[in-house]
Every structure is written in C-alpha cells, then in structure tokens.
Structure 1
Amino acid sequence: MPYLDTFTGEWNAKNARHLLKRCSFGITPDLVKESVSLGLQGTIDKLFEIKPLPNPPLKYELDGTSRTEVNDPDVNYGETWVNAPPIPNLPTNQEVNKAIRARNRSLYAWSFLEMQNSGIHIREKLTLFWHNHFVSVNTNPHREYYYINTIRQNALGNFKELVKQITIDPNMLLYLSGAQNKDSAPNENYSRELLELFTIGKGAAVGIGDYTNYTEDDVVQMAKVLTGWKVRGLNNVDALTPFFSNFNHTKGDKTLSHRFNNAIISENGEDEYKDLIDKIFEQDECSRFIMRQLYIWFVNSEITYDIETYIIEPLATIIRNNDYEIVPALKKLFASDHFFENTFCMIKSPIDLMFSVTKSLLVDLPNSTTKEEYDYALVLYLAATDLNQSIFHHPDVAGWKAYYQEPLFYKSWINSYLLPKRLDFCRILVTGGDLVIDSRKYTVPPLVPVLKIASEIPNATDPNILINSLAEEMFNYAITAEQVSALKEILIPGLPDFEWTVEYSDYLADPTNTALAFSVDKKLRDVIAVMVQMSEFQIM
C-alpha cells in the first residue's frame, strides 16, 4: 500500500491543478504552468514560503450622507481604519453603527481579496481552516481583524502556540464567555470547547461524565485555571488588548483527572493558562485530533481504519516530533501518492466555487479604484454567504457542517435549496444578470472573458479540441464523447463541426469585426455557462 510514499507519477497539469485547487483559491492556466515548471517539490516549497503579512483593510466607501455613502471622519478614503478608534467619533448611534458596518464590509471584502491574490501559496487556505477551527463570532470589525490577524500570523506555525494566543484573544474571550469567567462565578464555556473542539476531542463516553479523552471534572478544573482574563470596553484606549485580573483568578492548585494522569496545575497567575495548554498537549491524541481535521479539510471526509492507521497516525507522529509545528506533516501529505489518489471526492465550498467561476476563468479584478476592487470582492463574499459559507459568521461554535457533520460532510453544501442557487450564481457570473441576495439585487455584467479563454487553447478552431480543453481546465479530467456531443450542440446547434471552424477562423483573422466577435463570444459564453452548471464543475 503506497499511502505516504512519495508521489512517483508524472508531474503534469492535471496533478498540478489537483494540488493547487486543494491548497489555494482560483487556479489559472498561468499558475498551473508555473507549478508544472517548478515540479512537485518546488510547488510544495512555494506553497509554504514565508511571506510578509498583507497590508490591513482600507476604507473604500466614500464619505457622504446618501444611502451608498458613509460618514467615518476618523479615516481617510484609501487608508486603513484598523488604527482608528474602534468606536467612530460621531454624534449619533445611528451614524456610529453605519460607520462600523462599513468597516465590517471592508474587512470581509479585504479577506476575499487576500484569497484572490494568494497565488501559489497555502496561507489563505490555512487561515480559512483555522478560522473554521477556532470559531469566534463578533460584530466589531476591530476585534474581528485582530482575531483573524492572529490566525493569519500563525497559520503556518505552531498549533500549540496558536491555541495559547487564541485562548486570550479578546474576540474569543467575549465569544465563549472567557471574559466573564471569574473565581466567584466560573464559566465553563471556553474550557469545554478548548477540549472538545479545539485541542483533543471528546471521544466516546465510557462512564458518567467520563469520555475517552477527558472528564467533566476536567472541564470544571480547567475553567478555574482560565479565570481572571478580561476585555476592556471599546471606548478604552487598550480595548484590543486583553488583561489579567489576579483578583478574579481562582487561586491554588487545580488537579486534573486520570485522563491527564492526575496532573496538578500549580498556581501561576497570568501564565497559568499556558501551563494548562502545555499539559493538554502532552496527550498524543491532540496530534491525531488536529491531523484528522486537516485531512478532512484538504483530502477526504472518509477516515477508514486504514486511513487512521497508515495516514493519520504517522502524520500525527510527525506533528508531535516537531512539537506541534504542522508544516512538516502537511508537506509529507501533499507529496504523497495518497494525496494524488484522492481526486474528485470533495464538493467545492461556496468560497472555492466563487473563485472557480471567477479567478480560474480569468475574471480580472477591477483595479481602477479601491472602491471598485472592494465592491467586486464584497459581491463574492455576499454570494458565498448566501450559499451558507459566511466568514466571521459561522452558524455555531463547531464551524461549517461540511467539515464535521457525519455522514454528509461536504454534501452539506448541496441540498434542494442551495444547489439551484449555486448553479444560478455560476451561470450569472458567466452570462451576466441579476444576483439576488437577501432580497437585494446586484446587477452583474458578463464577467468571464470567454474570447480570452479560447485564445489560450491551441487549435481551438476544432470544436472537439475546444470543448475537451475547456473540460480539462474547468473539471480537471476528460469528459465522455456523449458530453462532448451535447456541449457541441450548444456551441453549434444542429451544425457540422466545420461551421465553428470557419466562424472562429474568420474571427481570428479579423478580431476587430464586431459582428463576428459578438457571435463567437455568445457561442462560447453559452457553452461555458452550461459547463459551470455541470456536476463536474461542483467537485474537486
């Protein structure tokens, strides 16, 4: 059984697409060519390159009093609002809330722009993974930004260190009641999720209040360890910095259960939470737990006995041997035969789908103004939100169902309500039309540059080559002869192949001929609009 043996197949465009689709967002032909030239190991090295953090989000909406304008005097257009006061200096609550919502929109659009511009790099895919792993919901954009910045800074780093930073992140302290956890009224919300969802997993119940990996008493004792951490109000100059109140901290030693070898967490004030996390991570199960989550995110939702034995366990051992640095294990996984055997088994998330039908199909970002760029990205955010994947607004603390809810997993993205929406969004982004999201209409022009796509396909004058090449790029595998015939019927309904050959050749000979260009554009747009609605386009 090959499993984690290094991939020995041919490094070609098909395998490059598979790796890039799973590890980044929006795979263009140029990115595929670059990956093929780099080779498998060169591509993996580039995916994990150390890069500087991106510039923070900008104010992109114009100042004014109309419905489409915003009054935010603390920030100039085109500059970041991140360093401005979290509560804008405005006379009424209505104006304050309007400015805050504008900053929210900026953050969400900026997040999609970072995915759009990620290239051959895994950081944004991992940032989204950790964002779904450490769910933390808030409505203030400053707290949201500093939370996601912590995740992005540590996305390729150490799992244990990230848990420590997230534990006292103001966003998380508020979301899971850590800021209300004090000696006089211990709150177990965060300690429970720290164990069940963030580090080790619950495991099967083996007795009353006793699970495979921890007990209910561990939840209680760990809550005491975590007492005393507070968050200041948004009007405070240190609103985004957590602080420790020794007065509100439960003093004395805390004893954990037999699941942690009856370990004692000694009194250690503001560093006690670090001692607790170190103790949790002494359990080997932490490495298996996070490796399963990464496997579901990047490879397949089906974890059989063999996968657990020959994939999860050896990769978890690599994680432990590297003191919970995750990159060595991921590099081993992505270079393996096993990774390249698991193709076409994952339904695209709404975010992956949006970039498949935009960036992968050569839709350029509008870049004449910051406002146009952010407005475009915001529509992608709203569309993904409408398809049940809303960044910063998970349905619950467990994250998106596609990555944890058995037996559906990825199938959660598709049901009788969501599938028609997915297909309609894909079609409209190709043909143009009205996207209706939350009863609001967004008029979208025909964004996909179909003539440019065809121009990059050698011998596209042959309709069979054209359609098969489109299928390879869009689906990453060959389609059947029957599917080719059906798509030709859309391209040239009822006509022989040479009709396309003649028309497209005439266009290539005279691309300034507007009538020819319009006719060829419409034919290509019609066939690509159908292809983005095919089931093959919905998986990767």
Structure 2
Amino acid sequence: MPYLDTFTGNWTAKEARHLLKRTTFGVAQNLVENSVSLGLSGTIEKLFEENSLPEPPLKYQLDGIGNNRINDPGANYGETWVNSPAYPNVDTSQERTRIYLSRSRSLYAWSFLQMQNAELSIREKLTLFWHNHFVSENTNPHREYYYMDVLRRNSLKNFKELVKQITIDPNMLLYLSGSQNTASAPNENYARELLELFTIGKGVALGNGDYTNYTEDDVIAFAKVLTGWRVRGLQLEDTLTAFFSNFNHTKGSKQLSHRFNNAVILENGENEYKDLIDIIFQQDECSRFITRKFYKWFINAEISEDIETNVIVPLAKIIRDHQYDFVPALKILLSSDHFFESTFCMVKSPIDLMLSATKSLLFSAPKTSIYDEYNFAYILYLAATDLNQSLFHHPDVAGWKAYYQEPLFYKSWINSYLLPKRLEYCKIIVTGGDLLIDEKKYTVPPLIPVLEVATSIVNSQDPNILITELSNQLFNYPISASQLSALKDILIPGLPDFEWTVEYSMYLNNPSDNALKISVDNKLRNLISVMVQMSEFQIM
C-alpha cells in the first residue's frame, strides 16, 4: 500500500501544523511545539486519546429585566439548564419561546467553546464530522444537546453501533419522521436516508427502482422494520427518550432484495431495527462509503480511480476487519505519505476559518464572566452561520454542500457574496469592529493579543523574521520575497528595517510606556489583519 505507507520524512513544525489543522480547529504555537516533541506516532496517539467529556452548557444570561437578561426558572446563572424540564412550566408560550432561545444560544456558544478550547485532540473535529453525516434538526435545545452528546460520546467508537443509536434517537425520530412511521401509516423517510446518506449510498440506477446498492422494495421493507418507535410530547415527563410501541409495529417477516442477498428479517419487536442494521453492514460497500466520507473531510474532496483503488479500498478493508471500529484506519490515513502530500487543497470551512484566526493567534475566550465567555463564542457561531455553516441547522439532510456537491465541493464556501464577508470577519477578529448579522449589530473588541504574539517569536525585532514566522504560523508554507516586501510595507510603510527594530526594542525595554505600546500594537494589528485576509490564510 504505497499511498498508505507511514510518512518517513522529517517531522518538523510544518508537518505538525498540517496534521493539526486538519484534525483540530486552529493551531496554537504551543500545540505545534508539543507535536514536534511527540513525533508523528506520538501525536497520532495523543489525538485519538479518549478524554473526559465536557461539563454541559450553562445558563449565562441573568434573570431580570433589560438587555441580555432572561427569566428562566430551569437554572440559576452559572448552572446548567440541561437537567431542567424540557417543557418549561411558565405562563405563556412567548415566555417559553424566550427560554428556548436562551438555552439554544447557550448550547451553540458552548459548542464553539468546545472547539475553541480543545487541545491536542481529534474528538471535536470528529464530532462535527458526525454532526454533518447524521444531519438532524430540532427546535428544542434539550433534544439538540442530547443528540450532540450521543455524537460526541461515540465520536471515536464504532460506526455500526452509532448508527443503531442514531436510528432510535428522539431527535432523529422527529426530524426524519420515524416517530410517525406506523403499521397503519408507513413512512419511508428515515429508511431512505439510512440507506442513501448514512450507511451504504445509493449508487447508480441499474433498472426501474433498482440501484447499485439497494432497491425501492428494500426501502419499503426497511420502513416496515422500523415501525413502532415513538417520542413523547414535550408536555409529558421523560420527553428525551424514545419508546417502542408494539401496537404500531408491522408484524411478520420482511423480505429484502437481491441487493441484500435476499435476506429475510424475522419478527423481533423492539430489537428488529438492530437486525436490519447488522444486515446492511454485511455489505462491503458500507465500509467504502464511510471511508470516502472520511477522505473528503480530512484529505480532499475529489476521489480519483487511483485514490479509490489505492486508498479507499484498503482502508475500507481495515474498517471491516475491525468490525467497523474506524479509528485504526483513520490513524493509518493520517500518518500516511499521502496525507502529507495532500496540502493546500482544502478551502477552510467557516468554523475552521474563525478558529484559525483565534487559536493560531493566541486568543482565548474571555474569563471575566460566564456571560463574556459565552457571548464571545455565540458571536463566532453567528459569524459561521452567516458564512453558511450553521451548527444544528444544515441546509438539508445531506449536510453542508462542501462535502458532497460536485464539482465545487470546498469552493462552495467562497463566492462573490461570501468571500468579502470571510475577509471582513477575519479582519474584525484582529482589529475589532462591528459585525452586522441579520440586520443586528454586534460590537467586537480587538481580540488578538498581538503584542503577545510578537514576543512569542524569537528575534521579532527583525521585521523579516517577524513576518516570516507569522506567515509560517498562519500559512504553513513560505511566502515569496515580493510578499515579504509588501507585508513589511504594511508594518513600516516606506521605512527601512531598522525603524521597526528600534521602536520595537524600545517597547520591549519599556513596556509601561503607553504611547510606545499603542504605536507598536497598531502596527502589529495592521500587519496581522492584512495577513488573515490573504488567500493563503483561506486554505489549508
């Protein structure tokens, strides 16, 4: 497997950044240094460690009257609302709606904080992968939280077992009409997506209702197998678990087509769905289907015949050999020569872009208060949403277009409308400013500690070293001499190098001089704001 041979080149900061950019969100310099010291194999093992799960999201808005306040009896400020009743006992539906909106804001901000605060771990990147694979949407923040919790808990576990959990998850049962699928009124919605989007793929049409991997008759039979699963209304207790109604289940055996070797699924009540999923996963195409998804997420959107033969097929076999535990295959892929040759071919998703700007430039979420911390993260959520990547709210059940829609794929993140917004958001993270999202203004202070960024670079009083090291951190490959010259002209317009050396050295020797501090800060902020708007920062 020459494509999948383990990378044997020099393990430097460049290779570490490439691996960490693809497997985490944004790369702080300390993580790069840690990875270099660990080596490739040590970094891979660290990335796939199963860390403790995060504490649940908190109520971050105060009760009372006025801006940024909400009357939510489900939790005190600074406590989690997750365990409170999913149907708040309040006087009006308007009050309930406001509470749901407040809890949703908390959940969305908290989700960004998990990505922002993650260290050397692939878990959050895989959680987002599964979130995009098993698309599900609900307006109740409790169901959204517990759905995402299933994905996070299983992000490094078994693909087949995750499919079984998702199939009877209340969020999915509601989203794809599984709770409406009964013996008297069959609904094929989830059965179809289970096959086409979640497990095996459709393939090409080979006849009337006959595709490469299943038939329309299989969809009908699958729907019958899946009948009987229900979700209680929010007004009742225990609203966050599904239950099986034998009365609503289609009895008897279900015959599958030649695509599944004419298998027969015997009557098995509430466990029948597990038998169905076991049969789906007997097909080798399941492993190839999920391997292609991983490849598009971590490597490249375009899969040639060569890649199919030399990467997808052998990795898929490894997944099958491990009974659909996929981590061994992912470790091989991310350690391979092929992975380290696949550089600069991916346009950053909006989430990757936002967190590249914050984490790569040493920004940490404010700790002055829970409100400040969550509000910062919520603004990042809004910005990513405005750039067409909204957590919990995909455009359709197939997920974000960048990972499936030919021929654009990742290029769908950038167009004449989105690109100016991307550049402006990157600039505002560095310089501060007003974000206008859905006709509402959000004032963002300058977030990046540019003085700290500069002092973390050895010999940063030399403008050539400063700019070169910044470009290495942000772009992960060398800039040209003309680019270096142009960026230096941003830092010290029309002035010789020693002007920066003198001023910056004076600041280092006298950091309490406020006028010097402001002058150096402004120069650095202008430089870095230009760098994060360069096309080199938009790709990874």
Instruction: State how far apart, in whole Å, the 2-side matches of 1:510 and 1:61 are.
Output: 41
Aligned to 2:325: 325
Instruction: State how far apart, in whole Å, the 2-side matches of 1:444 and 1:233 are.
Output: 40
- Percent identity over the alignment is 72
Instruction: State how far apart, in whole Å, the 2-side matches of 1:461 and 1:371 are.
Output: 38
Question: Which residue identity does 1:398 align to in structure 2?
Answer: A
Instruction: State how far apart, in whole Å, the 2-side matches of 1:390 and 1:355 are.
Output: 14
Instruction: State how far apart, in whole Å, the 1-side matches of 2:237 and 2:495 are.
Output: 71
Aligned to 1:214: 214
CA deviations on 1:425-455 (whole Å, 9 max, x unpaired) are 0001111110111111111111111111110
Q: Do the aligned residues in 2 keep the contact of 1:254 with 1:265 (CA within 8 Å)?
A: yes
Are residues 1:4 and 2:4 paired?
yes
Are residues 1:479 and 2:486 paired?
no
Instruction: State how far apart, in whole Å, the 1-side matches of 2:313 and 2:92 are.
Output: 57
Instruction: State how far apart, in whole Å, the 2-side matches of 1:281 and 1:172 are.
Output: 20
Partner secondary structure for residue 443 of structure 1: strand
CA deviations on 1:162-211 (whole Å, 9 max, x unpaired) are 00000000000000000000011100000000000000000011111111
Question: Which residue identity does 1:522 align to in structure 2?
Answer: N
Question: Which residue identity does 1:257 align to in structure 2?
Answer: S
Are residues 1:460 and 2:475 paired?
no
Aligned to 2:254: 254
Are residues 1:193 and 2:193 paired?
yes
Instruction: State how far apart, in whole Å, the 1-side matches of 2:71 and 2:458 are.
Output: 52
Give the count of matched residue pairs.
540
Aligned to 2:288: 288
1:234, distance to aligned residue in structure 2 (A): 0.8
Aligned to 1:56: 56
Aligned to 1:351: 351
| Farther off after superposition, 313-322 or 65-74 | 65-74
Instruction: State how far apart, in whole Å, the 1-side matches of 2:79 and 2:453 are.
Output: 35
Q: Do the aligned residues in 2 keep the contact of 1:74 with 1:89 (CA within 8 Å)?
A: no
Are residues 1:309 and 2:300 paired?
no
Instruction: State how far apart, in whole Å, the 2-side matches of 1:239 and 1:269 are.
Output: 22
Aligned to 1:178: 178
1:66, distance to aligned residue in structure 2 (A): 2.4
Instruction: State how far apart, in whole Å, the 1-side matches of 2:328 and 2:337 are.
Output: 16
1:390-409 matched pairs, under 5 angstroms:
390-409=390-409
Question: Which residue identity does 1:409 align to in structure 2?
Answer: F
CA deviations on 1:224-255 (whole Å, 9 max, x unpaired) are 00000000011211111100011110001000
Partner secondary structure for residue 436 of structure 1: strand
1:480-519 matched pairs, under 5 angstroms:
480-519=480-519
TM-score, structure 2 as length reference: 0.99
Aligned to 1:91: 91
Instruction: State how far apart, in whole Å, the 1-side matches of 2:34 and 2:198 are.
Output: 36
Instruction: State how far apart, in whole Å, the 2-side matches of 1:407 and 1:443 are.
Output: 37
Question: Which residue identity does 2:337 align to in structure 1?
Answer: D
1:90-169 matched pairs, under 5 angstroms:
90-169=90-169
Partner secondary structure for residue 361 of structure 1: coil
| Farther off after superposition, 406-415 or 459-468 | 459-468
| Farther off after superposition, 174-183 or 510-519 | 510-519
Instruction: State how far apart, in whole Å, the 1-side matches of 2:65 and 2:265 are.
Output: 56
CA deviations on 1:369-415 (whole Å, 9 max, x unpaired) are 11111111101111100100000000000000000001100001000
Question: Which residue identity does 2:201 align to in structure 1?
Answer: G
Q: Do the aligned residues in 2 keep the contact of 1:426 with 1:533 (CA within 8 Å)?
A: yes
Aligned to 2:431: 431
Partner secondary structure for residue 3 of structure 1: helix
1:514, distance to aligned residue in structure 2 (A): 1.1
Aligned to 2:14: 14
Structure 1 consecutive aligned stretches of length 4 or more whose deviation exceeds 3 Å: none
Aligned to 2:65: 65
1:67, distance to aligned residue in structure 2 (A): 4.1
Long gaps (5+) in structure 2: none
Partner secondary structure for residue 358 of structure 1: helix
CA deviations on 1:35-55 (whole Å, 9 max, x unpaired) are 111111111101011112111
CA deviations on 1:249-274 (whole Å, 9 max, x unpaired) are 00010000100010000000000000
1:2, distance to aligned residue in structure 2 (A): 3.2
1:74, distance to aligned residue in structure 2 (A): 2.2
1:510, distance to aligned residue in structure 2 (A): 1.2
| Farther off after superposition, 10-19 or 498-507 | 498-507
Aligned to 2:269: 269
Q: Do the aligned residues in 2 keep the contact of 1:127 with 1:152 (CA within 8 Å)?
A: yes
Partner secondary structure for residue 230 of structure 1: strand
Instruction: State how far apart, in whole Å, the 1-side matches of 2:75 and 2:448 are.
Output: 35
Instruction: State how far apart, in whole Å, the 1-side matches of 2:369 and 2:451 are.
Output: 25
TM-score, structure 1 as length reference: 0.99
Instruction: State how far apart, in whole Å, the 2-side matches of 1:65 and 1:434 are.
Output: 25
Instruction: State how far apart, in whole Å, the 1-side matches of 2:213 and 2:249 are.
Output: 26
Instruction: State how far apart, in whole Å, the 2-side matches of 1:27 and 1:442 are.
Output: 26
Instruction: State how far apart, in whole Å, the 1-side matches of 2:66 and 2:519 are.
Output: 41
CA deviations on 1:61-83 (whole Å, 9 max, x unpaired) are 10013242100112111111111
Instruction: State how far apart, in whole Å, the 1-side matches of 2:456 and 2:73 are.
Output: 47
